[in-house]
Structure 1
């Protein structure tokens, strides 16, 4: 509350109020002074509210302020019971009622000024239906409504012009400049006419110049037609190329196709298209129509301020709360049949959503496939233009790939055999090295043994020598046999390696040629790719430049068209207003009384006089009712007392009759008993 009062005081101390309040002086204001402050703020928003509160009746003040606050769409806090307290607080100048109103008004003064200005012209006067039966009143009311609609459109145009940056001064300058140019052109034409009139046979020369201009225009028109026909021919050639490519692809697709597969594919396409036409497209169309209707409704409504947005947000929150309550109630009921149906509904909605998603995915895939086919056709055209050779397609490309794969498998096998030979050769070399090392070790051991026994350099005894010689001969024989075996094995291995080399020689030769050809093709491909990239970059830069130029020219064209249409609309509206003003002036100045009665001014003056007379009669009637109100109320009270008195007498009379009848009945019973 203190922040609210501080905000009010700060704004009241500023222009245009200049109240020079502080928190203490503002809080100590009397109710009448507080109402006067509120009236000053309302008068700043609507100048018609400039009134001294002390000279006006409290009822009139409250009625006037409440009507203006209703026009400004002020919503007091609370419910319907608080509305009566709000009215009472406004009449007596209560602070809890006045402070929120001042805070709301001072927050959005400019917006409320505009709303009050528009309400002065857009609040429709409610004319009773019995008055509308008169033709004059009905025509006047219809004209009044037309003028209100015209004011709405003109105000919207004015706001658009204010926001668009155009001003009347600029338009006037443009009009004056165009009029000056027109006058200069007219003078120049006159000077040229005078200069040409002195030349002999100027008519024939003018005719020739006219014919020359006509022929030039015709030449330009023919050139334009020629360019259009060239463009049409180019587009037709592109269309023919696309159709030929489609025909080729369709023939290729239908080469190994069967009737059953074609029928199945056609049935699937028909199902998909029927689903798109009967379910998806109507839903999308209905959604678009709803969205369009909603947008039209939003456009037709007046501009909304922050208060309206807050009000809408509060309504949305209330509706959401009600929806949540209804859902909770439904869940609490927990009907089994309804639960089963909700489960099936949920499954059906999930399936429908999946179906829609798959349909959208299929549509996107088809579009992507079409774009890729177009891109492939464009790339093939570019490759054909750059290289001149036909690009391999379909079976030819498959055969080429299978041939390369077979060659690669043969190459891998040969390479594996060579690797095995190399491994075996390395193994044999390692065996030879191991045998040599073992022989050297044995020799060193023999020398160490002779050194230990002191007979180094001498041999063993004869027996030992004979045995050693025999052993040596055996070892030599064994060595000879092993060496012969090893030499035979080496010879066989060499012959096998030579055979394998001779068998692999043509393959290696062919592989070298293929490698060389592959390098040449790779180099050529890199060169073509570089050329293509440079050409594509140049074309892309040219295309971007052309797009920028086209975009700029379109923007200029749109600006010129909008300016032209705006000028035409302004001229038409001014012509209509001028025509109405002239008709009104003619009717007002005309000596004929019948015509003068048709003037709007006369009709309005007549209606004003009738309403004033009616208001005077009603005021007199109100005065008479006020004067006779006291005696009439006393008379009503007397009649009510009289009615109550008569009712009491009636009750007493009925009660007396009942008692007398009871006594008579009782006496009759006693007489019967005596008898």
Structure 2
């Protein structure tokens, strides 16, 4: 508790509170003053809470503070009864209630400011459903919800931008640096143009340089395409390996599922075929039996039950509404039918027919078996659904791993080897971990024993000191060592004391006489001391009264001071706003002066007869740039004309090249066919004639 109060006092003495408390003055605050401190802290979090408690009713104060603490999600420790005591303590200004609230608020002031700010916009107003039936109210409520969602998204974007580390000063620096670089580049380009214009054939050289730049860009693009194709080839090879592994595993599974050389009956519907059964066929038989059971027995029963339930519900819906009398009649009928059923059961039990008893036993067994069968069928259906979902999840996980790192999930022997490696590593890890745990446990045990021994020693020392203080012999334990140290000297001194014992007895008598004389002399002084003690008590009572008056006066002055500080703060803010406005207007005036100066310089340069000054004018520079761009546009149009003229022959040449590729591919296929025929056993020479398709292609190419 002392640490809590110390933290509260330190926080209140700092900005923005500046209370100048110490532990004694803060602990001696009255309930009203303590509530005012809590209100000031809440006002720092939410400015709407800035209220003077002397001008507010206690019920309104408690309601206001409880509502804000609920918005800030403050949770007092305890159950429902403690919640009622918390409310009462907050109303009366109890210290055990307000101290934890202040500690919690001052620990997380910035976080709570943000929460209070968001609560103003995100606490939804609950509109009753009766009012929402009105179209205007419903539209307004819908618009209100949309604005709330928009505020959420904008606040998230603001927080992300705030956390991203971008600032306007850095962006402005970057922009200014980029503008300087742009100016330098423009100057460099102009300088290079001046240098190039003096050279011969500079237009041709510029054209060659442009073509070189275009070819370099194309080379980079082709290199990038080559890298992408390499990556695609790598992924295709990995995919091929995965497919080959899957094919291998499927072949192994097919090899394991060899049919047994046995004959059995495969039941299909009402017919039975005598075929060699295998593991797969047995599995198929089981699935067929299960599906037949589900179709012929389970699903029809469930459908019949659903139909009965639907019929019963329709009957209930079609009947008119029942009153209390109708319900009483139905209850009486139900009771009568139950009594009749009980009578019939008793008569049946009195007859005690043996045949019916045997049949009932078999019926019970049949019903139990049917119920077990239905339960197992449901379990099997659930297991199948679970298996399908797990297979889907496994396939999704495989696809995710393939997309993530392009590797395949380990299977078969590789997975076994990986598991064996993991097991060996896990055994080594467990041994090392066990050794570390034992060492940690031993270290903790030794550390704990050391702490316990130190605590025990300190406790014994404290107990010994308290006992010494109670007995009036404080410092005895400290001096005991000294006594033990001089015990050897004491034995020697005792001999000398024995000799001077008579002298000591005489000295004691003299001292007793002196003490009695002093007591008689101090009797009058003790009487005066009693009177002074009574006066001291009266003065302390008067001091307490004056202190209470002073505290009340100080509280009033403190509240007045807070009001004056608020007014001063407001006036300072207005002063700062006016100063900022003044600086803004000065900056605008300077900007306008600079623009005016630029405009006058431009007019002077435009009017002056000097050609160099005219060249410096912005208009001349823009006209020069426009002329350069027009020349560039003319060149590009000429280039476009050349490309359009050569487009037809180029397309024709490309078509001829494709036809030639097709012809060579056809020759390759024919050659491969001939090689395959000679490998089978036909001996002969390669044919020198063309096929019909080759002749058609050759004629087409010759015609082209």
Q: TM-score scaled to structure 1, two decimals?
A: 0.34
Q: TM-score scaled to structure 2, two decimals?
A: 0.33
Query: RCO greater where, 1 or 2, for CA within 8 Å and sep 6 or more?
Result: 1
